[in-house]
Amino acid sequence: MAARAAAAVAANFACLPDDLLAHIFGALSLRKRSLATYKHQAIPLVCRRWRRVVLSPHLLRRITFESIGKAAPAGLSKLDWARSFCSWLVTHAAGHVQDLDLRIGTAFNAQSAEAAFFPEVVAALAACGAAGRLQRLRLSLQHLFDLHLPAALAAALSSLRSLSIDVQEGILTLDAPLTAMSRLEDFRVDVTPALDAGMSLDVAPTASLPPSLTSLHLGGTGWGQEESNALPPQIGQLTRLRQLSLEVLALSPEGFAPLARLGGCLERLRLNWCSWLPPPSTLAALSRLTMLSVDTVGEQREAFDEFEGSIEAVLRALPQLRHLRLSYASSGCHETIPRFPPALSGLCGLTSLWWDIDTTEDATLPDPSGPWLRSLHRLALPSSLIVSNEAGLLASTPLLESLHVLLTPGMPWHDRSLRAAVQHPALACVRVSGHASFEAMPSARVAVQAAGRQHPGMAFTLEEVALFDCGALFDDEACRG
């Protein structure tokens, strides 16, 4: 009986046309499809037809390989697994792949045998780029302390439009000309240093960045020699750059000088956990800047005072801002939190404000008031601040279309956050976001679901976000504005 059923299943699959069979195979992960990543338990070994279909070009356009935090298949070390994948990539997919995501968990230590494997990774990437089809590349590596991007690799990746490099616990040096990547628009670099490394990202004077860039993200700690504390001057040469994100950088105020050369193009600026803010004289040159996002952290009262003063000066230098995000994380032990900057009154065209400040139950909350409220279309505030000012706040925002309720660690949920919102005549969307571990999340989930049933004409959503990762939500809302 079992043999008859198996024969029937095999017959049914044999009757399927190639395109339908390819659709089924496409729903499987690459690890289940590929001989290289699943050793001898893979589809290509079933029969010649299945091998031909599973290796068809449209199933090879998007390739993902991830061994970070993953166990290698039985009988393989992580190094052998990654090496097998690179061999398969060059043999079967290099001529077809358009979107490649490599997250290799092999430890690239200079003293280990794995160090010799990195050139194989470079060769595989070059083979994929040589075909001229590769458009998006995301590369994640671990424990690599002497990583340099060869100029030859940049030349091979001339078709790329988006490149993301993430080095965990290592050091990355950009010291070669990258101008050969003439179509590259989005370039993202994140380097997490090892515990004993004082510097993780170094942009050398010999490096050059692709002039085609419209979006650049640089994340690391320090630039080359620690005493320089300055942005690479090459950034000032990117005349098409519209969006710049700088994260965890030890920059002095004077180190932001290259920004002034972007006055004719830069529209969006994100500063996440940088040591200082750019001086007002530098920001005043950014006449096209319409979006600013600032994340900072501090433990002392003096840090709050410094934050308030710096933000006030920054906003006075940027009266044209339309989208503003201010985030301040602390230990949660302060009795007062930063007030709304008086300079907000000078932002006549402000349409989006995200005010993400840690609060406590005993904190003295600032009063959000001023003429700037009347132009807002999107507003994000901690739930406690919404509750403490609900009547005056919503009455002062006649154009408000979207309200974002931000949950704060250690703070309970307040149903009043939603009760006042549903009475606003223009409000169409209410979003609640917080980390899954926050005390308020279970109650917030129940309240959001109930509000959605009671008010079907409004959109209510609950979003779980990673800690310190709300900036992406603000970017999404700002883009819609």
Residue 355 within any structural domain of the chain: yes
Residue 12 within any structural domain of the chain: no
Average pLDDT of the segment spanning 126-145 = 88
Query: Residue 64 above 80 pLDDT?
Result: yes
Q: Say how many domains are in the chain.
A: 1
Query: Residue 339 above 60 pLDDT?
Result: yes
pLDDT given at position 81: 82
Residue 297 within any structural domain of the chain: yes
Q: Band the pLDDT of 41: cuts 50, 70, 90.
A: very low
**How do residues 410-436 score in pLDDT, each as one tens digit?**
778 888 878 778 888 888 999 998 887
Residue 275 within any structural domain of the chain: no
Beta carbons of 19 and 54 less than 8 angstroms apart: no
Lowest mean pLDDT among 47-51, 221-225, 443-447: 221-225
Residue 396 within any structural domain of the chain: yes
Q: Band the pLDDT of 161: cuts 50, 70, 90.
A: very high
Structure tokens at 20: 């339908």
Residue 317 within any structural domain of the chain: yes
Q: Band the pLDDT of 460: cuts 50, 70, 90.
A: very high
**How do residues 264-286 score in pLDDT, each as one tens digit?**
999 999 998 877 889 999 999 99
Provide the strand spans (E) within 264-347. Answer: 268-272, 291-297, 323-329
Q: What is the mean pLDDT of the chain?
A: 81
Order of strands across the sheet that contains 147-148: 147-148, 172-174, 201-203
Beta carbons of 284 and 314 less than 8 angstroms apart: no
Percent of the chain with pLDDT over 90: 32
Structure tokens at 344: 């907000």
User: Dihedral (C-alpha) 62, 66, 71, 72: value to the nearest 10 degrees?
Assistant: 60
Residue reference for tokens 């406590």: 360
Q: Band the pLDDT of 302: cuts 50, 70, 90.
A: low
Q: Band the pLDDT of 115: cuts 50, 70, 90.
A: low
Give how far Cα 106 sits from Cα of 20, 31, 72, 260, 460, Å.
36, 17, 11, 41, 43
Backbone conformation region of residue 175, classed left if phi is above 0, alpha if psi is from -120 to 50, else beta: alpha
The boundaries of the domain holding residue 380 are 290-481
**How do residues 177-220 score in pLDDT, each as one tens digit?**
999 999 999 999 998 876 555 557 888 889 999 999 999 999 87
Residue 471 within any structural domain of the chain: yes
Residue 154 within any structural domain of the chain: no
Beta carbons of 82 and 62 less than 8 angstroms apart: no
pTM above 0.95, yes or no: no
